[in-house]
Structure 1
């Protein structure tokens, strides 16, 4: 007997809950470490802003997923849980933005590490932007329906 889409989606959501909780703890620890760097005068404002934006978009994604979990299970139960809705399409857009921001942090660090060489950044930036465009295009099509 195979695993149904609804049970697989619920299992994925349970894993996402655990990982988001771990991310909250790691985010708070990293803010503490960044605060210590501020005391020494070595704060990189770009990384701090990107760090906070990344956490915000991940939290918005999780909030939309949790809302879907709560409202769908209350209304219909497990059957139909995996069905795509407009809030889930918005959640997909938030996770695409999170992915793009994570790539931007990686690209920024490579730019900084490799001494401002464009030949390092360009091969990293093009797939990141293309991936974001593809994911957000699919989600926008679903939001129109």
Structure 2
């Protein structure tokens, strides 16, 4: 398959630089995610599944970045005079072990990111039926992805691109569909919950910020993945740049959701603690206090039988009802 666009050696430099910038940002997001997972929590209270996925995403991103740097050094320095056409010919050689490894890492990273979105969808919906379609798409993505990696591992020096055209288009289309469907179902469920509880809410806490960050994460991933698919269909070398950028973007999309949820939760806990300590006069304006329900304690209620009235009419008998005290409960968010 004849490729066109920017030269492959230029694409390798651009992809490594852009991936390095995004990787640095993803490391900062990783630190924020770890803080969100362990802040004011005991070790046994930490979600171990999410923590494991967080570490795995960083590990795969780091491994991909290292392989890209090694590959860049091999093509531009170590083997620059080995190939007749120079460095561009080296980067076009799919039989290089670094090429196989970096694409295997990409497949694993993509499947892990899509699996996290499907898992979130299951947790929010609490139904296995709702994730049947995304799970089938995920399995198809795994099959096509690992088939492509196997094909590349068996390729010769003149084999061409990483994927056959059909396999490449199928993989990118499947992973894009999986992400969009899962994210759409997740956002719809949260939106419906927000609509149902908005009329009954007694505090300012809302799910809208979480809904927005979920949508933003899906859009950010799709904005990079869709041009990658277009470049692949057009046999444009820009696909290599876009593919390397996808690695840290998948991690960033995962981290940003966890951090936003943690910020919302910690803000809610802080307000609750502040109210319970009775410092509302320092933190909240008086006119922002909600109306507080009153508790009325009735000491006793006496009813007299007709037989003990000695001829006095029942309409003359007052019911004895005494209000002892009125209390205002403490305000809690």
Give the TM-score normalised by structure 2. 0.40
Is 2:23 the counterpart of 1:20? Answer: yes
Report if the CA contact (8 A) 1:6-1:82 is conserved: yes
1:29-68 Cα shifts (integer Å, max 9, x gaps)? 1111111153497521111111111211221122111110
Deviation at 1:78, TM superposition (A): 4.1
Partner of 2:135: 125
Q: Distance in 2 between matches of 1:132 and 1:67?
A: 26
Partner of 2:124: 113
Is 2:65 the counterpart of 1:56? Answer: no
Partner of 2:13: 10
Gaps of 5+ in 1: none
Gaps of 5+ in 2: 81-85, 156-333
Larger Rg: 2
Q: Distance in 2 between matches of 1:90 and 1:96?
A: 10
Is 2:90 the counterpart of 1:89? Answer: no
Q: Distance in 2 between matches of 1:20 and 1:135?
A: 23
Aligned residues: 143
Give the TM-score normalised by structure 1. 0.86
**Where is the strand percentage greater, Structure 1 or Structure 2?**
2
Partner of 2:217: none
1:79-98 Cα shifts (integer Å, max 9, x gaps)? 33532322211111111111
Report if the CA contact (8 A) 2:111-2:138 is conserved: yes
Partner of 1:135: 145
**Where is the helix percentage greater, Structure 1 or Structure 2?**
1
Q: Which runs of 4+ in 1 moved over 6 A?
A: none
> Would the alpha carbon gap of residues 82 and 119 (structure 1) be closer, same or farther in structure 2, given more than 3 Å must change?
same
Deviation at 1:74, TM superposition (A): 1.1
Report if the CA contact (8 A) 2:67-2:98 is conserved: yes
Partner of 1:80: 89
Q: Distance in 2 between matches of 1:86 and 1:41?
A: 41
